[in-house]
Amino acid sequence: MSASTDTARPAAAARGVDLTPGGPTGPLPTPPPRAARPAGGGRRWGPGRVVVVMALVALTGVFVYPFVWLVSASLKPQGEVFDNRIIPLTPTLENYVNVWAEAPMLLWLGNTVLVTVLAAVTVTVSSAMVAWGFAYFRFPGRGPLFGLVLATMMLPGAVTMIPTFLIWNSLGQVNTLTPLWAGNLFGSAFYIFLLRQFFLGLPRELFEAAKLDGAGNWAIFRRIAMPLTKPALVVTLLFEFQAAWTDLMRPLIYLRDSDKFTIPRGLKSLLDQFGFGGNWHWEIIVTASVITTVPMIILFFLGQRHFVEGIATTGSKG
Amino acid sequence: MTALTGPLARVRAQVSTRSQRRDLRAALLFISPWAVGFLVFTAWPLLYSAYLSLTDYDVLNDPSFIGLENYRTLLEDDKIALSLRNTIFYTVIQVPAYVLVSLGLAMLLNQAGRAAGFFRTAFYLPNMTPPVAVGVLLLLIFNGQNGLINEVLGFFGIDGPSWTTDPNWVKPAIIVMSLWSVGGSVIILLAALRNVPTELYDAARVDGAGPWQRTWSVTLPMISPALFFVTVVNTIAAFQTFTETYTAFFGSGNSTYSNDAALFFSIYLFQQAFQFLNMGYASAMAWVLFVIIMVITVIQLRVSRRLVYLEGEQR
């Protein structure tokens, strides 16, 4: 573990420190500069490189085609959903009208946005606080306690699932949206780990200087550490937003009435209703799938760089 | 107060000055969200789940203590055996396939120079798809009559199976579908490949090593920590796989597909807990899952000590 601390010197330190709120934005620490690149392959466009790129283009088709299929199927009338054409024979938007009539899609979208925003914001703030507590302060028992944080990452969710349900049940929160996000108020081990790595890379002298100037512990965290950690905070926000948006298991456990559903839970209910049980309307399901997926695709293109760097960092810290 | 000994005395000695005591208080405040969450949502659930596994509990009535009865029932429950077999089959095939495919893609990307960024984005896109939508896609694309996969196979003159209804082909379909989202592992492995120092390849080339030998003796050892990480994380995930399969093959109103071939352990656990309300029995299942995952992880850690290369001073 400690190895990564050294390799994870944030770029912020190297670039000179910017104390303005909203500070420097930049890539996450670990990915090295691309300069000294060519490992195995040459830089020039030889025939080998052409074959590689052609193979990659073909593979890209494999990865992207299911999206294309889904979107094009959602634009086909009922009878043609399965014809596997890329361009619909008789394109129509009526599925999008129908799905709105069959299901409270707007309500589901609203529920989902509420849950995901609350989940992402709370987990980011609380995990940052905890990470700061473990990164900045030296206190007895710090090592073992942080070991405990890491250990909880390895605990299968199934073990705590039932008692956690009983807690929310006894608080009268089943069939509300609360259990889907409120646990995030206490931080999450993975993000605590990620953010702590980042905090450890910030130059300590900076905080000592602020302390000498009379800044309190909270001010140092809020005014200096947080702004410098913006790239890692963005990664946390994006990851949790995606996790909360795509979650199906918790909505399955906690939500009963369809007006409480999040959009993945709603999609599952549409599949049960129109896919199985003889009531065949796959065009409704396909269209609802597109509506469930598109916000995530938009999110990815907005935060693409952060996603990729966040994931690359995750692996190198294993 | 005067004659403290042992650890407490050491703690007192370490935080003697006033500013140190203020720091300790601040540190505890900062980590308090985690501490509260740990006690309420991890420590207590762990203990309570262990207790529940020794009871008969349906939420409506108080738990009644039945000792090890749940664990005895586990041994005789055919569906436990079935779901375990399914889960192990899935894990044993899926994880190596997943790691090999992501390694292959990462190596290809590593040869692509500047274009790699674009392809990396394209490969990651499926990871953004909500698993419930992946479950829907699974049903549609692997449909036996007119699904895309069989259409493509037909193009090559192969008569594709009824993936989603033939018990022998359900798991292979789930595995192939899961390979659609290798993007995350590809990014991790590509980052590792880019970290391999170029000088090592030059040295190997000077020593007369061909491309295969360079891959085998330089690349693989150098990226073995990342490979190990990807393997362990995916094994744990594979053993708990739930959403895509549950979406496609289980749920209310689903009579046509109620399919034993797709009954994974975590799905059966979920059914026992929240459909049949056998919370005690499901808790016992959760502990079995916990032990299995621990054993697998420990074995992988042991094996890795021999296979994973770490640079001299790194840990």
Residue A62 and residue A146 in one domain? no
ipTM for this model: 0.90
A47 touches chain B (CB under 8 A): no
**For residue B145, what pLDDT is reported?**
84
**For residue A26, what pLDDT is reported?**
41
Q: Is B313 helix (H, G, I), strand (E, B) or coil?
A: coil
**Other CB atoms closer than 10 Å to residue B164's CB: what's the count?**
23
- Please judge whether B30 and A137 are an interchain contact, meaning their C-beta atoms are less than 8 angstroms apart: yes
Residue A174 and residue A143 in one domain? yes
Q: Best interface-test mutation with B: which of A311, A313, A314, A316 has the largest number of B CBs within 10 A?
A: A311
**For residue A24, what pLDDT is reported?**
39
Mean pLDDT calculated for residue range B128-144: 94
**CATH code at position A145:** 1.10.3720.10
Domain end residue (candidates: A70, A92, A114): A92
Residue A199 CB contacts under 8 Å (≥ 6 apart), including other chains: A131, A132, A135, A136, A225, A229
**For residue A83, what pLDDT is reported?**
83
pLDDT at A16 over 50: no
pLDDT at B17 over 90: no
**For residue A318, what pLDDT is reported?**
39
Domain end residue (candidates: A67, A92, A117): A92
Q: Where are the domains of chain B?
A: 1-40, 77-307
Token pair of B226, please?
């990342």
- Phi then psi for A278, rounded to 5 degrees? 80, -15
B77-307 is classed in which CATH architecture? Orthogonal Bundle (1.10)
A212 touches chain B (CB under 8 A): no
Token pair of B303, please?
């094996």
Give the C-alpha separation, A221 to B97, whole Å.
Answer: 45
Torsion angle of alpha carbons B221, B226, B227, B233, nearest 10°? 150
- Please judge whether A293 and B129 are an interchain contact, meaning their C-beta atoms are less than 8 angstroms apart: yes
| Total-model pTM | 0.87
Residue A84 and residue A116 in one domain? no
Please report whether residue A63 resides in a domain. Answer: yes
**Other CB atoms closer than 10 Å to residue A13's CB: what's the count?**
14
Q: How far is A201 from chain B (nearest CA, A)?
A: 17
The answer to whether B13 touches A123, Cβ cutoff 8 Å, is no
A214 touches chain B (CB under 8 A): no
Residue A54 and residue A127 in one domain? no
How many residues can be counted in chain A?
318
Residue A205 and residue A236 in one domain? yes
- Please judge whether B45 and A312 are an interchain contact, meaning their C-beta atoms are less than 8 angstroms apart: no
**For residue A82, what pLDDT is reported?**
81
Residue A60 and residue A148 in one domain? no
Residue B108 CB contacts under 8 Å (≥ 6 apart), including other chains: A52, A55, A56, A59
Q: How far is B26 from chain A (nearest CA, A)?
A: 7
- Please judge whether A40 and B214 are an interchain contact, meaning their C-beta atoms are less than 8 angstroms apart: yes
Residue A161 and residue A229 in one domain? yes
Write the pLDDT tens digit of every residue in B225-259: 999 999 999 999 999 999 999 999 998 766 555 57
The count of domains in chain A is 2
Please report whether residue A131 resides in a domain. Answer: yes
Please report whether residue A225 resides in a domain. Answer: yes
Please report whether residue A15 resides in a domain. Answer: no
Please report whether residue A7 resides in a domain. Answer: no
Please report whether residue A68 resides in a domain. Answer: yes
Write the pLDDT tens digit of every residue in B89-134: 999 999 999 999 999 999 999 998 888 889 999 999 999 999 999 9
Q: Which domain holds residue A181?
A: 104-312
Residue A135 and residue A236 in one domain? yes
Mean pLDDT calculated for residue range B289-307: 91
